[in-house]
A and B are shown apart, each in its own frame.
Chain A
Amino acid sequence: MHHRLHWLLAWWPVEKAVTVACVLGLIALTWMALGVVLGTPLWVVGSMSVAQGLGLTAGALFALSVGADAGVKRAKRS
């Protein structure tokens, strides 16, 4: 179990995941901003649903990446 977790942490593509998180975050933020500026039904409803889903995914990717990075560094030290 421990080895498998270590393998997973080592495998997790931290830099790629952070990049994807940033791109997803930018898309989500742009959508939310357009929902405020344009104020049309599709953009407003999308900003309160799809955009928030994208934002949550971006945040989760970032949290996983930070966790994986910290786990790998700890494993190297021990």
Chain B
Amino acid sequence: MTPMGALALVTAAISAVLLLHQLVVRPALTLSTRLKLLLGLAVFPFVTAVASTAHGMHRTTERDFCGSCHVMTTHLGDLEDPKSASLASRHGRNPMFGGTACYTCHADYSMLGYPLTKLTGMSHVFNYYLGGYKNWSLERFHAEVRIAKPFPNSNCRQCHSAALASFQGVEEHRAIAEELTSERVSCASAGCHGVAHPFSKRPEEL
């Protein structure tokens, strides 16, 4: 648990004690009662809300959070499989990605990348609980659902800088440099580095 999560629990517990005392004892609304309620209904809950939000935002970057919906279990399983040779698994084994491997790759690289990624992530929750994905089989999910927009090369380039000699030294990179920059060719496509999650694709997509 993060320190923010612990802070949220402590302040929530203090607030709960103050509120339960008010509900059980029902003291008159004197100045001291008002002050206690101010602490129990405003000050401590405000701290709880801020701390639990900070903890929650961190929690949504963890890969077991992404894999907690059944339609993502194969993605998580492949990521954690040391024998898998998929692009996602090879990256997930890198300690730089660690427990936040899904988020590290899928968070868009821009000034607003963090909040925009979180906002678009809400559509996943909506689709899962209200859009019917919850009742879908894995086979149907893999057959019908694709990433909402093409995976941007700029996300790969957060680590794999195109300015480095090791990148420019590859003839294929130099030959399609313009296509890579303009996103007409994806790094994670067949013929290049391969799709990240091949088990979720039809044979003709590989």
Contact = CB atoms under 8 A, between A and B. Distances in A.
Instruction: Note whether A and B form a binding pair.
Output: yes
Most buried by B among A15, A32, A63: A32
B20 interface: yes
Given A44-B60, A47-B56, A66-B34, A32 B65 contact: no
Contacts of B68: 40-41
Contact of A26 (B8, B20, B59): B20
A10 interface: no
Contacts, number: 103
A22 B69 contact: no
Contact of A28 (B20, B22, B45, B129): B45
A36 B19 contact: no
A22 B45 CA distance: 11
A32 B52 contact: yes
A59 B52 contact: no
Nearest to B10: A33
SS of B interface (majority): helix
Contacts of B56: 35-36, 44-45, 47-48
Interface string A1-31: 0000000000000110011011101101110
Interface of B: 1, 5, 8-9, 12-13, 15-16, 19-20, 22-23, 26, 29, 34, 37-38, 40-42, 45, 48-49, 52-53, 55-57, 59-60, 65, 68-69, 122, 125, 128-129
Give the 10 A-B residue pairs with the shortest CB-CB distance, closest first.
A32-B52, A29-B12, A36-B5, A22-B19, A62-B41, A33-B12, A44-B56, A48-B56, A55-B45, A25-B41
Given A33-B12, A44-B56, 16 more contacts: A18-B37, A21-B41, A22-B22, A30-B16, A32-B8, A32-B12, A32-B52, A33-B52, A36-B5, A36-B52, A41-B69, A44-B59, A45-B56, A48-B56, A48-B57, A52-B53
Interface of A: 14-15, 18-19, 21-23, 25-26, 28-30, 32-33, 35-37, 39-42, 44-45, 47-48, 51-52, 55, 58-59, 62-63, 65-66, 69
